[in-house]
Structure 1
Amino acid sequence: MNRMEDKVAIVTGGARGIGRQIVETLSREGARRIYSLDMGIGEYDLPNVQQVQVNVTNRDQVAKFVENVKNEVGKVDVLVNNAGITRDALIQKMTEDMWDAVIDVNLKGVFNLTQAVAPIMMENGKGSIISISSVVGVYGNVGQTNYAATKAGVIGMTYTWAKEFTRKGAAVRSNAIAPGYVETEMMATVPDKVLQPIRDKTPLGRLGQPQEIANAVLFLASDESSYVNGHVLEVNGGLRL
């Protein structure tokens, strides 16, 4: 049996990279419908994927989108908070704009979608919220004060929601995934002299693949993880920054 059969999912940042892999994986596993949210449109030819241009930082856009989903299909089984950006600099050189942009997308965006979707899940009595954190949110990293703050914040919200959304008996689970360094389009621009030390520090000796993150999302999205709640799953090859 397909693990996503009859499930309705929302994936933010779904046009490329890890988000695209997540969308394709949930699609293959038989989801009834997947809403792929992004500022741009990806190249999908999948009958159960609907692409929607939504800015996750815009609360009005998010509210309107989620209301439309509720009217169209009546439920949301899975929310994957994947959208994120980086604006790296040492703290002495980090501008207020760099700080605000990352906080807005990576933290407020996760808050906006979850705040809109969680009541639908609680009303239906079940659901799975999966927020993408990072190894940087767990261990910190030079030049990423803003990014580390948001990804650590995602973990804090995840723990809080695991308690909040189940208070009245609904089986609405909230978990996070903390990937290590993954071979995406974004990483393709990073010089090998930067990536090789990361490989050397990773016990498995390599970077991750987008599919390996998508596999973790699939597990937490499916009923196979029905007793997993308030957990941060590190998918990083053993890397400790």
Structure 2
Amino acid sequence: MVVVVSAMSDHHLTRRGILGSGIALTALQKTAVYAGPSSETAPSSAPGAVEKVDVRLTVNGIGHQLKLDPRTTLLDALREHLDLTGTKKGCDHGQCGACTVLMDGERRNACLNLALACDDREITTIEGLGTAEQLHPVQAAFIKHDGFQCGYCTPGQICSTVGMLNEIERGIPSAASADLRTAIELTESEVRERMSGNICRCAAYPNIAAAILEAAGKTSG
């Protein structure tokens, strides 16, 4: 404001003086309008941490008492809290099957199950299927038929195979089952349909199918 009065009182209005006056007025207006957030309008502080809950998991025959964030998935509980890293995190959306485990003998995607929902369920991971000295028949068949390349999806493929063979024994049909009135015949097309939820990005599917057929007492020929 001082600049404007001075320029007009001397009657020396120049282009530079007018521009300078405009800049000064703009700066004064912005300073007057913005005084910073008041204590009444300031955003409240972020909420506190989520309270942890007690979760009991039985994994590979061993009971574990954990205190977890209720949002923790079974996959993260296995990998980050129990150090069972054989179960792999792939898509984390239930679309690739890399995290497949057995829950009460049935195959499940660990990334889609909350750990607290698995309280007192019998969970089996790849570490619980066999040992280096005595492999599970499915593990041995995968090695014999070279049913993997990079191996990242292999734990999920093997756990899914074990669960799938249990489904066959219980007479649970699939979309590829030819006749629902008779015993299910485990053909290669049946295997491919039932294992379609387990993706192998290395495309070792022919070898995986051969391994599964042998593990089931069949031959790929």
Bin for the TM-score computed over the shorter chain = under 0.3
Name the TM-score, length of structure 2 as normaliser: 0.22
Bigger radius of gyration, 1 or 2? Answer: 2
Higher helix share: 1
Instruction: Report the structure, 1 or 2, having the larger strand content.
Output: 1
**Higher relative contact order (Cα pairs below 8 Å, separated by 6+ residues):** 1
